[in-house]
Chains A and B, each alone.
Chain A
Amino acid sequence: MMSEGRFRKIDEWRWEIPPTGGMRVPGLLYTSEKLMKGMGADEGPRQVANVAHLPGIVKGSLAMPDMHWGYGFPIGGVAAFDLDEGVVSPGGVGYDINCGCRLMTTRLRLSDIRERIPALVTALFQNVPSGVGSRGPLKLSPKEEKQVLVEGAAWAVRHGYGTEADLEATEDGGAMAGADPEKVSDRALERGKEQLGTLGSGNHFLEIEVVEELFDLSAAAAFGLEPGQVCVLIHSGSRGFGYQVCDDYLARMVKHAGEIGIDLPDRQLACARLNSARGRDYLAAMACAANYAWANRQLLMHRTRKTFEKALGMAPRELGMRLLYDVCHNIAKIETLPVEGKEVRLCVHRKGATRAFPPGHPDLPPAYRKTGQPVLIPGDMGTGSYVLAGTQGAFTETFGSTCHGAGRVMSRTQAKKSCRGRSIPREMAERGVIVMASGRGTLQEEIPDAYKNLDDVVEVVHHAGLSRKVAKLRTLGCIKG
């Protein structure tokens, strides 16, 4: 834990942890008085300070307002490293490499399907594989699996699970460059072969939502969002494949960091120089996992489209389920970003943080060039989500990054304890949300009280200028693993 005295308030939305001991740069927390309360009881700020010890870190160890205690890096952490002096850390990406969100819009209005929501949720629950160790619709041959690792979402589209337009609306076009399947272990390949097209468990979900409020009408129009419109949000990642890649490289780097003389305050921060073979190998394996995740979300979306069409008896054109955007929030990327007025190539780690590129950025699809990148922020299962737009503020201040969700405040055991004698599905139904989960404890662990208030988190990034509020969506139905 960290004493209150360690924080220096810069302004209403920014707090600094001044460098002490081996910290090479300050910690910088984007938060509010309200969210700061209780922060001292969490290990998150200490982890922010720990990350500041890593070699080659540029400017500061950043934390988004949804920050909470992770392992190694805090969840909600952003850190960028110089390509020559700096490091890459598998723990700074996380086990679920390219965990992320994709949001689809439809031509449906809530009034069209209000009565059908329970049936739709049931159909989705039956058709979309979810839960611990669930198997997907495909069993990949070793050759096919390696193609997935290189091609990402394009592999799925090439096999009929989606359209070219889907790729255009995916971060990096759904495929990260530099993926090399030869850098992936047999164990990872083994775990990956049957899990493509599965949602997973824990906080992963598929939600039916309705657009409830618009804040920025012109950006909402560019994003194709209208009040009362039915949307679908998917939150999933690279499944066992990604966990294994992280695990393999972390173990190698724990040994390695000592050998090359990097003094780590926490083994989970194990890392390798970006310009070393070990560092490059990790990035090549991580890209494979990122691509696996994009193919996974593409397959999940395809399954969702088919389920809606069948359950509602509609043709694809009538349903019009269009991918608005797909973002990743656990990743390390080599990007060109401004630092003190100069453009520099850096390796940006976003561990529970979302890219939020500004208007005019060449990496954005033409339709969003004027508005800035769509940023998808899921909340807890009873609330809904936000759609934000990337800003110049994020680009210059936080390495083009913003928050990624509500952030936990309650441990899973605390959450379960607080559920004794309660029926969570009934409570959710009273809020107007139909939920189904395959794991017995999942709904209890994921109760809304276990998370920070999403509005509070989004207020911080909005006012700090790290992204702009565009729309708020409310949950109608949710399936979880």
Chain B
Amino acid sequence: MGYRIFDHTADLGVEISGASLEEIYAGAALALFDLLTDLSSVRAGVAREIVVSGEDPADLLVNFLREILYAWNGDRFLMKACRIREVSPRRLKALLRGEPFDPSRHRVQQEIKAVTYHQASVEKTGDGWVARVIFDV
């Protein structure tokens, strides 16, 4: 998985690196669900398309993660895979694959209350991109 957890006293910080913006956003979505559950237990049977907008790439990242976190918290949808179909600095279209939560097969490892704006960033590095975001857990 292309992310690492960084220390935050009360919450959980995640840093995602990748070669393109698509990789960063898809990687962040996977990181979220990798923390939530065991991804290997999730099947990719159901597709969902989501479109989000933001003020800039960091705001877009937070809004994207807020939206897919609601797919879990509100609709009990567990994501297995994510493909970014379109991305610009202020708009993103993604296709999620996954399935409804089934307590007999899925285990929830970690509650994630919310995706915070605190120190959220998406930055260009020498040969790619790095994003950081903090989850309230």
Residues of A within 8 A of B (CB): 42-44, 68-72, 75, 91, 95-96, 131-133, 187, 190-191, 200-202, 240, 243-244, 246-247, 250-251, 254-255, 258, 266-268, 270, 408-414, 439-441, 481
Residues of A within 8 A of B62 (CB): 267
Cβ–Cβ contact A132 & B110, under 8 A: yes
Which chain B residues (72-99) contact chain A, with CB distance < 8 Å? 73-74, 76
Q: How far, in whole Å, are A96 and B10 apart by their CA atoms in the complex?
A: 13
Encode B47-79 as 1/0 by CB contact (under 8 A) with A: 000000001000100110010001001101000
Q: Which residue of B lies closest to A246 (CB)?
A: B114
Tally chain B residues at the interface, Cβ within 8 Å: 32
**Given A187-B74, A251-B63, A267-B118: A69 touches B113 (CB 8 Å cut-off):** no
Q: How far, in whole Å, are A230 and B5 apart by their CA atoms in the complex?
A: 41
Cβ–Cβ contact A71 & B55, under 8 A: no
Give the distance to chain B from A7, nearest Cβ to Cβ, in Å.
19
**Given A132-B110, A201-B111, A254-B117: A190 touches B66 (CB 8 Å cut-off):** no
Cβ–Cβ contact B73 & A412, under 8 A: no
Cβ–Cβ contact A251 & B66, under 8 A: yes
Judged by a CB distance under 8 angstroms, whether B120 is at the interface is: yes
Judged by a CB distance under 8 angstroms, whether B20 is at the interface is: no
Judged by a CB distance under 8 angstroms, whether B131 is at the interface is: no
**Given A187-B74, A191-B73: A267 touches B120 (CB 8 Å cut-off):** yes
Which chain B residues (112-136) contact chain A, with CB distance < 8 Å? 113-120, 134, 136
Other-chain contact of B114, A69, A243, A266 (Cβ < 8 Å): A243
**Given A240-B73, A250-B117, A255-B55: A69 touches B111 (CB 8 Å cut-off):** no
Q: How far, in whole Å, are A70 and B10 apart by their CA atoms in the complex?
A: 6
Residues of B within 8 A of A240 (CB): 73
Residues of B within 8 A of A69 (CB): 8-10
Cβ–Cβ contact A408 & B10, under 8 A: yes
Cβ–Cβ contact B111 & A96, under 8 A: no
**Given A243-B113, A255-B55, A266-B117: A413 touches B5 (CB 8 Å cut-off):** yes
Cβ–Cβ contact A133 & B108, under 8 A: yes
Cβ–Cβ contact A254 & B55, under 8 A: yes
A44-B9, A187-B70, A258-B55 given. 11 additional CB < 8 A pairs? A68-B9, A68-B10, A91-B118, A132-B111, A133-B73, A243-B136, A244-B70, A267-B59, A409-B9, A413-B5, A441-B109
Q: How far, in whole Å, are A202 and B137 apart by their CA atoms in the complex?
A: 7
| 27 pairs, A vs B, C-beta closer than 8 Å | A68-B10, A70-B11, A70-B118, A132-B108, A132-B110, A133-B108, A191-B73, A191-B74, A202-B137, A240-B73, A243-B73, A246-B114, A254-B55, A254-B117, A255-B55, A267-B118, A267-B120, A268-B116, A268-B117, A268-B118, A270-B117, A408-B10, A411-B8, A413-B5, A414-B7, A440-B109, A441-B109
Other-chain contact of A72, B55, B63, B116, B137 (Cβ < 8 Å): B116
Residues of A within 8 A of B120 (CB): 267
Main secondary structure on B side of the interface with A: mixed
Other-chain contact of B118, A133, A266, A440, A481 (Cβ < 8 Å): A266
Q: How far, in whole Å, are A27 and B120 apart by their CA atoms in the complex?
A: 24
Cβ–Cβ contact A441 & B110, under 8 A: yes
Q: How far, in whole Å, are A144 and B115 apart by their CA atoms in the complex?
A: 29
Residues of B within 8 A of A70 (CB): 10-11, 118
Give the distance to chain B from A270, nearest Cβ to Cβ, in Å.
7
Q: How far, in whole Å, are A240 and B112 apart by their CA atoms in the complex?
A: 10
**Given A71-B118, A133-B108, A201-B111: A411 touches B9 (CB 8 Å cut-off):** yes
Give the distance to chain A from B114, nearest Cβ to Cβ, in Å.
5
Q: Which residue of B lies closest to A243 (CB)?
A: B113
Judged by a CB distance under 8 angstroms, whether B12 is at the interface is: yes
Give the distance to chain B from A447, nearest Cβ to Cβ, in Å.
14
Give the distance to chain A from B9, nearest Cβ to Cβ, in Å.
4
Q: How far, in whole Å, are A75 and B62 apart by their CA atoms in the complex?
A: 21
Cβ–Cβ contact B111 & A202, under 8 A: yes
Cβ–Cβ contact B7 & A411, under 8 A: yes
Name which of A71, A270, A408, A439 has the most chain B CB atoms within 10 A of its CB. Answer: A71
Other-chain contact of A96, B73, B76, B109, B113 (Cβ < 8 Å): B113
Q: Which residue of A lies closest to B58 (CB)?
A: A267
Residues of A within 8 A of B137 (CB): 202, 412
Give the distance to chain B from A128, nearest Cβ to Cβ, in Å.
17
Q: How far, in whole Å, are A48 and B5 apart by their CA atoms in the complex?
A: 25
Which chain B residues (2-17) contact chain A, with CB distance < 8 Å? 5, 7-12
Name which of A132, A190, A266, A439 has the most chain B CB atoms within 10 A of its CB. Answer: A132
Give the distance to chain A from B35, nearest Cβ to Cβ, in Å.
11
Residues of B within 8 A of A133 (CB): 73, 76, 101, 108, 111
Cβ–Cβ contact A413 & B114, under 8 A: no
Encode B1-37 as 1/0 by CB contact (under 8 A) with A: 0000101111110000000000000000000000000
Name which of B5, B66, B108, B120 has the most chain A CB atoms within 10 A of its CB. Answer: B108
Q: Which residue of A lies closest to B76 (CB)?
A: A133
Residues of B within 8 A of A411 (CB): 7-10
Q: Which residue of B lies closest to A481 (CB)?
A: B111
Name which of B70, B113, B114 has the most chain A CB atoms within 10 A of its CB. Answer: B113
Residues of A within 8 A of B115 (CB): 247
Q: How far, in whole Å, are A201 and B111 apart by their CA atoms in the complex?
A: 7
Q: How far, in whole Å, are A1 and B44 apart by their CA atoms in the complex?
A: 43
Give the distance to chain B from A231, nearest Cβ to Cβ, in Å.
27
Q: Which residue of B lies closest to A42 (CB)?
A: B9
Cβ–Cβ contact B136 & A267, under 8 A: no
